Amino acid sequence: MKRVRFIARHSFRFLLGLVLVYLTGSVVLSFITIDPEEKDALPVSIFVVSNGVHTDLVVPVRNEIMDWSHIIRFEHTKARDSSRKWVSFGWGAKGFYLETPAWSDLKASTAFKAAFSLGTTAMHTQFHNRLKENDHCVAIRLHPDQYRKLVAFISGSFQKDSTGFVIPISTNAVYGKHDAFYEALGSYSMLKTCNTWTNEALKSAGLKACLWTPWDKGILYQYGRPLW
């Protein structure tokens, strides 16, 4: 019995230490900035939007560089509204997206799979008419070359079928009339969260980003938004 208590006590201390290291590292590394590439002309606008926990990247539905409507189709949504001008992308754990409409619905098995990279991932997309800057919505201006890199990163996060097209997920777990889910690549974990994906997307395009962060606030902080 003493041996069991000894192992339990030290296991608890080890897990507590891991949690403290994770939390400390996530805060410290969120403050370390990856500086943007220096570019002269900045004609393309995008947005980073947070719901308080999760970040999305929002880009024009179509411009001279990319027409997302050929890939993320309006007819994949309930509204089929082709007049919308913006489309958002949010990568994350498929179980969270499809099985957890509210925090009260979160299952221990879903959280465990997400934390330890045991589940699959999905891309949530949503069409928007307009966006307004505030503490949870940041507008970023970027060079066409930077936007091309961002497009490549986002496109490369989707699973594709044998013909090269993205794979819609048939589900009733959509949030409204203008969104849809697609199969994604990669594994979600404590080290690679939805916000880590957004941060890596910004870095891939040569934009300002955190060295690493699992939180939305680290990304927003880099663009002048308050931490609290």
pLDDT one-digit tens code per residue, 82-101: 999 999 999 999 988 888 75
Q: For residue 21, tell me if it sits in a domain.
A: no
How many domains is the chain built from? 1
pLDDT of 167-188, one tens digit each? 999 999 999 999 999 999 999 9
Residue 179 is assigned to a structural domain of this protein: yes
Residue 18 lies in a domain: no
Q: Does residue 161 have a pLDDT over 70?
A: yes
Single out the residue of 216, 206, 213 nearest to residue 36, CA to CA: 206
Quick check: 157 pLDDT over 60? Answer: yes
21-37 tens-digit pLDDT:
555 655 656 666 776 77
Q: Is 117 among the domain residues? A: yes
Q: Which domain holds residue 217?
A: 32-222
Confidence (pTM):
0.85
Q: Which of 206, 216, 210 is nearest to 48 (CA)?
A: 216
In a domain, 164, yes or no: yes
> For residue 23, is it within any domain?
no
* Residues near 10 by beta carbon (within 8 Å), at least 6 away in sequence: none
Q: Are 126 and 179 in contact (CB under 8 A)?
A: yes
Residue 226 has a pLDDT of 84
Q: Is residue 153 part of a domain?
A: yes
Task: Note whether 158 and 116 are within 8 A (CB).
Answer: no
pLDDT for 114: 58
Look at residue 140 and tell me if it is in a domain.
Answer: yes
